[in-house]
Amino acid sequence: MEARYAVTASGSWRGAALGGDVVLELADDDVAITSPDGARRLPLPLGMLGGLHFADGQLSLYFADGTVVLAGEGRLAAAGREIVTRACAPGELTRALRSLGSHRRGADDLQRRYFEPLLSARRKLDRAAAPDAQLTALDARALLTAYHELAHRIAERSAGEAASDKRALEAQLDESFAPLVAALEALDGAARALRKSGAESAIASWREWSAQARTVFAAADRCWPEVARLVVGWHPGPRPSLWRRMLGKAR
């Protein structure tokens, strides 16, 4: 949705001072300030926006190339919220789940349970525009708990009756989940950094968090084949020794 705001500009851009009456344009594909007659146009690349702050009728946009300060219109607070929404769009995270929907005999229900915590978080993320709401939707600590509990439930269901078999399968599942766990712990660190960041750098911190979110989905996809292989091929009870398996004598 396009929107235009008549404002007064100050600050600087790439070493040049800004001043005078301009128009803030929120077009479908970019944000810019233009001269009132439209003859001159300065794009403001959202991918370079470090942060913004609105106070006392002034909207400040912080870039590595300068700070643009806009004042003069009551709707600037809404414009600031819209800019945050555009700059902090998480993108299609599930594109990394290349294994989702693939079929392996005996593993379809397991696949649904394995990916559901991330898919549920992604659905919540679709409804979250502001960064703080996105952190709540894709909560790394909650996902770590969910996958720890999932490993336990899978072992309870798939390992047979013996407690030792359940413990063994759960331990191997924990090992299989290790890359995903590491990615979630890094996501948690990025979330803590974002919460501590100031207005001038909050969007740059969000981009680091968002990149780590994509890493989480990619890690989940990498872990899935080993989880499926482990559970589908699991046989409760005593196992032949390593030497017997290597010599092909296991029955």
Give per-residue pLDDT as tens, 23-78.
Answer: 999 987 779 999 999 899 999 999 999 999 999 999 999 999 999 999 987 889 99
Q: What is the CATH number of domain 3-87?
A: 2.30.29.30
Q: Rounded to an integer, what distance in angstroms lies between the CA atom of residue 251 and that of residue 236?
A: 13
3-state helix, strand, coil in the chain (%, to 5): 55, 20, 30
Q: What is the 3-state secondary structure (H, E, C) of 18-33?
A: EEEEEEEEECCCCEEE
pLDDT at res. 53: 95
pLDDT at residue 243, rounded to an integer: 46
The whole-angstrom separation of Cα 138 and Cα 184 is 10
Summary mean pLDDT of the chain = 87
Of the candidates 47, 117, 45, the residue with the CA atom closest to the CA atom of residue 89: 47
Residue ranges for the chain with pLDDT beneath 70: 1, 100-107, 159-160, 234-251
Q: Where are the domains of the chain?
A: 3-87, 93-242
- Which pLDDT belongs to residue 244? 46
